[in-house]
Structure 1
Amino acid sequence: MKSFSPAFNPMIVRFLAIGLLTSVFAGSSIAQQSGLPINAAASVNGTIITNDMVEQGIRAAIAQGQKESPQLRGAVIEKFIEVLLLSQQAEKDGLANSERANTQLAIIRQNYLADLELSTYMSQNPVTDADVQAEYNRELASLGPQGMIVEYKVSDIAVASEADAQAALARIKKGEPFDKVAKSVSLAPNKVQGGAVGWIQPGQVAPQLASVLVTLSKGQVSPSPIQMQQGWYLLKLEDKKSSKPPTFEQAKPAIRAGLVQRKQFDFLGKLAKDAKIIVQ
């Protein structure tokens, strides 16, 4: 017998979420399970839907907020049947070998293999509890002797040239509100919010910006434009606050997620470094 591909199309989850298919297949092959292989949940024209595929579909639906239940299992099976019926008809209609189908199938295959490679790499190179503890200790040490987290509420103006930055700074020094100037000349997307960036920590921005930010008093604008690779910046410190750092248990999920992301980024960077990449 033919075996249906185990990839659970995201379309299936979307359909599950809105509860399609309630009785369309009642009394069909779902009810006629005699003669099916042991691991088969259903069969459509000889193509098997395995219990493993159904379990994978259930997990995907639960991850999107569905509750596990016999009804959910039935809905997953019904959705697989619907997809099989349509895909089999597409084969009959000659769509399977079309350029559009081949392109989409190639993309699906590449995405699946990419996810599989990344998950395999992470399972072989996991972030350990010791890694998380070490990163927590490092971040605590970076807070300094007082051991407090200092956050800065910042607004900025980004322009293309030093001359533009100096012109904007001159307007601000003459008394024009920073947010008004930002809306007028800034090239950054946050210009519509008057240049508002929100609360940040120095370690979250480039060193050129951080070194200026920590010297500003509340309400002060950077005394001169700051040169960055993307252009020239002006900063305004709107407010400043200090708080105690979270406990290890509180910080552990975020630290672990950050370390996982960093490890994945480093792995991808190594692959890119060793590859021959040409962009048109």
Structure 2
Amino acid sequence: MSKLLSSRRSRIAGLVLLALLSLVPLRLLALPYGALDWVEYDPSYHHGHSCPVASPTASALQIPCAELPGPEEPVAAVVNGQEIGRAAFDREVEQFLLALQVGGIDVASPEIQDRLPEFRRQVLELLVEDVLVQQAAVELGIGVAEESIEAQVAAQVEGGGGLELFQAYLEQTGQSAAEFRRETCQELLRAQVQAAVTGTFTGTVEVVQARQIVVASQEQAVQALARLASGEPFDEVARAVSRDEATREQGGDLGRFARGESPAEPQVEALAFDGRQGEVQGPVEVSGGYALVQTVSPAEEVPDVEGQALLFQQWLEDRRQTAEVEVFVDVGDWNH
């Protein structure tokens, strides 16, 4: 279920990767939870403050993707009046620890146990962030249609290889189908809220797609140029002669990148941005020898997705700073 992992648990996977590398202080960005439900809220909700409606009325607003604890269930936290149940919190902590185990980390080790309060705090921060997105949706008049959730889940299952692999994925990550469905709801809601918040953002970035062939000498570069001139495809020549291990098997593909973010050396990036579509330039001297550079698709201005994401994250942080959050579980220093 690689596509499921990349689209649904990528932030957790990124966290696990960091933990595997060095167990450095980590900051999570999102974590889904719970079984799909709807919460009724008083329409007087305004500027980060709300009151749950004990007896929903026809005039109450619905917050999608939210999960309320049962009448007798302990509460982990309350965010602007909206409760996060202890069961939901404990479930997400367990799923996080399971992700660490899958990544090869011994969660019973003293190092992990010492950092458990930190990890619990980060999990709770993600649940709080989900609630803030839900509450913002009320202010913005945004909801998620059941049809959209069903269609997205179906697409994820099909894209991940079918129902059998989907079930295996759920078992590996410790999720139920209902939790996966809620996660889908939360992602769709977050995307809509982010689009509404950053809708006036007009930042762009210049990007290009390129390939490279790296050889040891100028003579070898000239030989590679001769093969290209005879009509041999660039990617085939790259696989045959390039000494760059990071790109050789991909036919020299460097991917699509913005200025200053190329995986190759600056002189290769410069040629890529200067080239016309399909043009091959070089050889240019690089640390590994000499490089030939092909501009696969010419430079173009595209929306700055990273800038949009940073803007939205800052917006969320501003809401977090003004939110009223009460914590009832041990997460170390909540106001760190």
Task: Mark yes or no: TM-score above 0.5.
Answer: no
Q: Which has the larger radius of gyration?
A: 1
Question: What TM-score do you get using the length of structure 1 for normalisation?
Answer: 0.39
Question: What TM-score do you get using the length of structure 2 for normalisation?
Answer: 0.33
Structure with the greater relative contact order (CA < 8 A, sep ≥ 6): 1 or 2? Answer: 2
